[in-house]
Copies of this chain bind each other. A is one copy, B any other.
Amino acid sequence: VEIIVHNPFVPETVEGWSLLHQTFRIRWPELRRLSAAARVELAAEAVARLRTEINVDLGRTILVQLLGHKGDLMLIHARRSFDDLSQAQLELTQANLFDLLEPTMSYLSIVELGMYEMTAKIHEQLGAQSLELGSEAYESAFDAAMDVQRSRVLGRLFPELPARRHVCFYPMNKRRGEAKNWYLVPFDDRAAMMREHGHIGRGYSGRVNQIISGSMGLDDWEWGVDLFADDPLVFKKLIYEMRFDRASAEYAEFGPFYVGLQFAPSRLADLLDGRTPQLVTHIPAD
């Protein structure tokens, strides 16, 4: 039996949904030349190919109308595996709507909870039991303790994607500069900074939902962040305040930001018609 040795310098993580973000520009001129009925049909066929209903077991796909030139449409696919993500990606290529879409960005990641506090605590407890790091007893006790943690946070690993109007996605790194290098900071200092960071976040609870996903070894940045809020000003206020906490001020590097309006899949035809599509399905379009 192979033993996985838990490294006390590395915070344990637990993982949930596999995520694929995709953004597209829409070819408006070609779309405008179609009849309204044809646009309705395009929308209906595309949505039928995506898994857009809430499904706790299989995951689902949400739709966001983006602001600005980086894209008109963002899809966020949450699935149980990379094979499922692959099928979601391929399914869209088979929609007639795909002829009018130009891919502009994508991001591959896995929902992740970083567990600085628990990592330290479990190592401490096992150390107190005189178990030796790397021994089979230590490591299987560690695994067992982590399993408990994982089941405790299962709902946060496989969350429903929140039905809030405004969505903000951005990737980020922890800095590995020549003078400031997150990965050389002692564990306890990193844990303290993450605590402070989380504390600021909790000041916004109720006003914003956040889903963190890890992308080391998967995409070009280390993490992806999705924020969901009713009021987009919250994105600005939250990120501004966090920029002054040490974890962000000294160690965060931010990639491009993608911001837009989540809408009900059944309203996709509105978007194709040039009308801002609504999130709530029961409001009439005109």
Contact = CB atoms under 8 A, between A and B. Distances in A.
Residue of A4, A86, A107 with most chain B CB atoms under a 10 A cut-off: A86
A204 to B, nearest CB: 8
Nearest to A7: B241
A284 B270 CA distance: 40
B249 A69 contact: no
A220 B181 CA distance: 23
A276 B238 CA distance: 40
B28 A98 contact: yes
B259 A108 contact: yes
Contacts of A195: none
Interface residue SS majority, chain A:
mixed
Contact of A68 (B9, B108, B235): B108
Nearest to A2: B206
Contacts of A18: 232
A8 to B, nearest CB: 10
A15 B237 CA distance: 10
Contacts of A85: 67
Contacts of A98: 28-29, 32
A103 B68 CA distance: 9
A111 B267 CA distance: 30
Interface size class, chain A: 35 or more
A274 B67 contact: no
Contacts of A107: 68
A106 B15 contact: no
A233 B183 contact: no
11 contacts: A2-B205, A7-B244, A22-B69, A68-B89, A91-B274, A94-B274, A110-B233, A177-B178, A183-B248, A215-B257, A216-B236
Interface of A: 2, 4-5, 7, 9-10, 13, 15, 18, 20, 22, 25-26, 28-29, 32, 65, 67-70, 82-83, 85-87, 89-91, 93-94, 98-99, 103-108, 110, 166, 168, 175-181, 183-184, 200, 203, 205-207, 214-220, 227, 232-233, 235-241, 243-244, 248-250, 256-257, 259-261, 271, 274-276
Given A15-B233, A32-B98, 6 more contacts: A68-B219, A69-B106, A90-B274, A108-B259, A215-B257, A217-B236
